[in-house]
């Protein structure tokens, strides 16, 4: 029983091709569904209509959606990626700022000096705080 002989190379090629196309189709289908939900310009009724159209008649629905709204899909994806990047950058900035104790040593010493000048802390408290910052 020799299975490799029963399944020619061209048959294996076509099997791999169909599996690849099927996976590409699923990726496109889910990207279109995600784009329907992500689009802020569509109202609830329009989103529902497109979603029903894409789910009930998937090939025709995806084809028409890509023709009608495909140009803006890339723009929405880009805006979404930029918004995520801004959120990550803001998080990193705030985390780094807090991790350093609110700024550089010079900034912290200047703030501490201002607090002492206003009379909110004594000279002893100022010296202890200064030592903590410098060590």
Domain ranges of the chain: 3-72
Mean pLDDT of 88-103: 69
pLDDT tens-place string over residues 57-73? 999 999 999 999 988 89
pLDDT for residue 99 is more than 70: no
Q: What one-character-per-residue DSSP string does the chain give?
A: --HHHHS-HHHHHHHHHHHHHHHHHHHHHHHHHHHHHH-SSS-HHHHHHHHHHHHHSHHHHHHHHHHHHHHHHHHHHHHHHHHHHHHHHHHHHHHHHHHTTSS-HHHHHHHHHHHHHHTSS-HHHHHHHHHHHH-
pLDDT for residue 52 is more than 90: yes
Residue 102 Ramachandran class (φ > 0 left, ψ -120 to 50 alpha, else beta)? left
pLDDT for residue 82 is more than 80: yes
Share of the chain above pLDDT 70, in %: 90
Contact by Cβ (8 Å): 54, 70:
no
Tell me which of 29 and 124 has the higher pLDDT: 29
**In 56-78, which positions are buried (b, 16+ CB within 10 angstroms) versus exposed (e)?**
eebeebbeebeeebeeebeebee
Residue 101 Ramachandran class (φ > 0 left, ψ -120 to 50 alpha, else beta)? left
Tell me which of 21 and 97 has the higher pLDDT: 21
pLDDT at residue 103 in the model: 61
């Amino acid at each position: 029983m020799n299975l490799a002989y029963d399944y020619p190379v061209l048959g294996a090629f076509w099997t791999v091709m169909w599996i690849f196309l099927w996976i590409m189709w699923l990726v496109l289908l889910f990207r279109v569904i995600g784009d329907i939900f992500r689009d802020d310009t569509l109202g609830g009724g329009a989103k529902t209509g497109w979603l029903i159209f894409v789910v009930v008649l998937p090939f025709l629905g995806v084809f028409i959606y890509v023709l009608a709204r495909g140009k803006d899909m890339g723009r929405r994806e880009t805006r979404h990626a930029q918004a995520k990047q801004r959120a990550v950058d803001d998080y990193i900035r705030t985390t780094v700022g807090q991790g350093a104790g609110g700024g550089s040593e010079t900034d912290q010493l200047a703030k501490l000096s201002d607090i002492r000048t206003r009379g909110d802390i004594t000279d002893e408290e100022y010296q202890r705080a200064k030592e903590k910052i410098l060590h």
